[in-house]
Chains A and B, each alone.
Chain A
Amino acid sequence: MYRYDEFDHKLVADRVDQFRGQVERRVSGALTEDQFKPLRLMNGVYLQLHAYMLRVAIPYGTLRSEQMRMLAHIARKYDRGYGHFTTRQNIQYNWPALDQIPDLLDELASVEMHAIQTSGNCIRNVTSDQYAGAINDEIEDPRIISEIIRQWSTFHPEFTYLPRKFKIAVTGHVNDRAAIKLHDIGIVVKQNDAGEVGYEVHVGGGQGRTPFVAKKMNAFVPKAKLLAYLEAVMRVYNMLGRRDNSYKARIKILVHETGEDEMRRLVEAEFAKIDASQMLTVPQEEIDRISAYFAPPAFETLPADSDGFTKAQTADADFARFVRANVVAHKQAGYAIVNISLKPIGGVPGDATDAQMDVIADLAEHYSLDEVRVTHEQNLVLPHVQLDDLKTVYDVLAANQLATANLGLISDQIACPGLDYCNLANARSIPLAQEISERFADLDRQYDIGELKIKISGCINACGHHHVGHIGILGVDKKGTEFYQISLGGAADENAAIGQITGRAFTEEDIVDAIETVVTTYTDLRTDGERFIDTYNRVGMEPFKERLYD
């Protein structure tokens, strides 16, 4: 994993000192709120319904155990004993006091973490595949280029005041687990016919009130030239992106209004200038230096199978179900990837208590080569667990309400904080996720339904990714009352698609029954082996509409 060098340490420490002074001046009255607000936002501090909210960056969703332990400590000392893992692989604290945040940031900095660029109109935390470095058939660990992008984009002077926020995601695998086509820039690590590693770059994806799947802007950018290419995209956006209307200021609107071909021409022209200057050509020695941080950890040479693991599944049906649902094959013989669902039946999606975070930190330290990952679907991952240790890990997870065997199933929902916390929301998301989870609590029924991704947003800003849910749910406000609109057919993977709205919205009382109707329509219509999304893509919207509205 990447470790801060002296420049990183100084940069973060200086920023904490600077913010401490800004907070002191705000509290003393030397700064007005209008003056202070952009400064606090640049440090991840929002004002929500009940309190301030602090968003902490988790670069490409990777944590060491000491970092997870610090997140637990902060939840305990500065918040109310829990944190909320987000769809951008970050963590949010919902109750910190403003005057304590500088001390909190000091403690975060001690484990090489910060909240810089987790808000504001700048390049945000780079997100990536939670299975990076652990999954088979990966072309290259996507965290290498993610870290290079992180360093390039941190405090980049030209891109500190963009027209709107800017999000970049990277995958190194053909199966996209990072929703890269729903980002301002999505990057896929590719290998060309000559065996060279480079990057396919997609531009202009996003959700919000105007969702778009990103357009493939360049099929292969050589490794050393990627920053020059990204700089070209950013420069075109910074020059031409709209600043007159925040709803139309994201790069997706620029790409849409400019046209894909013209946008490509503009980017290529800018790229040619930057490339000719060689100012942003990344030296091979620097690529090698960053790559070394992500070299495979010290895996033991183990047999591919484990008798103990096999016997434990036979002896414990719950463990066997956990393995079936939450454990993924590892590239290294004798190891497995363990997904920790933060979606217990009836729980709050993405929330973890300080005690749970400590437990996960301990498990990572002892059984996962010191690593934890955060997923954009608001779960956690122990990426490197030996098969022989899986039952022990499972037992600890189960004892701490962390072993729900529902990964990718109907109760493994994304939900934004919604009107329970968020200043922008029109409707609550979490209670709806809880009701759906309880309605479909029977795991055998969930396994029978199969892969089904429900994503819930409490407003059109789409933090809950409703546009790309197989079933998406959008909360709307009608004269002070919460209603919920359903969309079907969305997808956030390599076959990214925007869902289509079924029709009129449902009341709070009716929405869970409506979801049940959608699910039973699918199970009635599916053929052998068809997932929900396959059936929807085959039969279309009409059968679902008929059942929902007739």
Chain B
Amino acid sequence: MAQHAAKGARFQAVTANRLSDGEVVYWAADNRWVEGFSEAEIADGADAAEALLARAMPADFEAYVLEPYLFEVLEDASFYKPASVRETIRAAGPTVRLDLGKQAGA
């Protein structure tokens, strides 16, 4: 999944899928997996990103999630958003079914 962490990206977050149901989750500042991208901890710089990924992958991480990885986020005015179409869709749900995924409850 390393391809999702763009080289030279300044801001990055960590995402994975939850083991029990595959739900998209993000690593939050209080060291837990959360469902909403808005709660994801954002790392500024490559070193901070690696440290963030390391915190998200303690020895027992596989008991909770699958395949955590870094992905690029962009700073847009006062908030962050995923940089790629792929991560934008993961954070919201299928663009062809607005009644499904996280966007359905928004």
Dominant secondary structure at the B interface: loop
Select which of B22, B83, B85, B95 is within 8 A of A47 by beta carbon.
B22
Closest to B60 in A: A29
Give Cα A419 to B93, complex, Å: 10
Contact with A along B47-70 (1 / 0, CB 8 A): 000000000000010110011000
B96 touches A434 (CB 8 A): yes
**Interface: A509 (CB within 8 A):** no
Closest to B65 in A: A33
Q: Bound state CA distance, A428 and B94, in angstroms?
A: 10
Quick one: CB contact mask for A450-493 with B, threshold 8 Å, 1 for yes? 00000000000000000000000000010011100000000000
Contacts of B20 in A (CB 8 A): 27, 97-99
Q: How far is the CB of B41 from chain A (nearest CB, A)?
A: 21
Q: 1/0 contact trace for A156-199 toward B, CB 8 Å?
A: 00000000000000000000000000000000000000000000
From the candidates B62, B93, B96, B101, name the one contacting A430 in the complex (CB within 8 A).
B96
Q: Is the CB of A419 within 8 A of B85?
A: yes
Chain B CB within 8 A of A321 CB: no
Q: Which of A26, A50, A419 contacts B19 (CB 8 A)?
A: A26
**Would A420 and B22 count as touching, CB distance under 8 A?**
no
Q: Is B84 on the interface with A (CB-CB < 8 A)?
A: yes
| Cα distance A420–B101 in the bound complex, in angstroms | 11
Q: Are A33 and B94 interface neighbours, CB within 8 A?
A: no
- Chain B residues contacting A314 (CB-CB under 8 Å) are none
CB-based contact B19/A97 at 8 Å: no
CA–CA, A26 and B17, complex, Å:
15
**Residues from chain B with Cβ under 8 Å of A420 in the complex:** 89, 94-97
Within 8 A of A (CB), among B64-106: 66-67, 83-86, 89-90, 93-97, 100-101
Instruction: Knowing A27-B19, A480-B85, A482-B85, say if A50 contacts B62 (CB, 8 Å).
Output: no
Query: Once the chains are docked, how many angstroms separate the CA of A32 from the CA of B60?
Result: 10
Contact A97/B95 with A33-B67, A50-B101, A482-B85 known, Cβ cut-off 8 Å? no
Cβ of B83: which chain A residues have Cβ within 8 Å of it? 480
Cβ–Cβ < 8 Å partners of B90 in chain A: 49-50
- Distance of A48 Cα from B84 Cα, bound (Å): 17
Indicate if A519 sits at the interface (CB-CB under 8 A).
no
CB-CB under 8 A from B84, the residues of chain A are 480
CA distance A480 to B81 in the complex (A): 14
Contact A50 B67 (CB under 8 A): no
Q: A51 and B85: CB pair below 8 A? A: no
Please report which residues of chain A, range 319-359, place their CB below 8 angstroms from some CB of chain B when the two chains form the complex.
348
A431 touches B96 (CB 8 A): yes
Q: In the complex, what residues of B have CB within 8 A of residue A29's CB? A: 60, 62-63
B93 partner residues in chain A, CB cutoff 8 A = 50
Complex contact A51–B89 (CB within 8 A): no
Those of A408-438 within 8 Å (CB) of chain B: 419-421, 425, 427-428, 430-431, 434
A428 to B19, CA, bound (A): 26
* Closest Cβ neighbor of B1 among chain A residues: A423
Partner of A33, one of B62, B86, B96: B62
For chain A, residues 28 to 50, give those with C-beta under 8 angstroms from any C-beta of chain B. 29, 32-33, 47-50
Query: How far apart are the CA atoms of A104 and B22 in the complex, in Å?
Result: 16
**Chain A residues positioned under 8 Å from B63 (CB to CB):** 29
- Can you give 7 A-B contacts (C-beta < 8 A)? A29-B62, A47-B66, A49-B86, A50-B23, A99-B21, A419-B86, A428-B89
Identify the B interface with A (CB < 8 A).
17, 19-24, 60, 62-63, 66-67, 83-86, 89-90, 93-97, 100-101
The 8 closest A-B pairs by CB, nearest first: A51-B22, A97-B21, A420-B94, A52-B22, A430-B96, A29-B63, A480-B84, A49-B90
Interface positions of A (Cβ within 8 A of B): 26-27, 29, 32-33, 47-52, 80, 95, 97-99, 348, 419-421, 425, 427-428, 430-431, 434, 477, 480-482
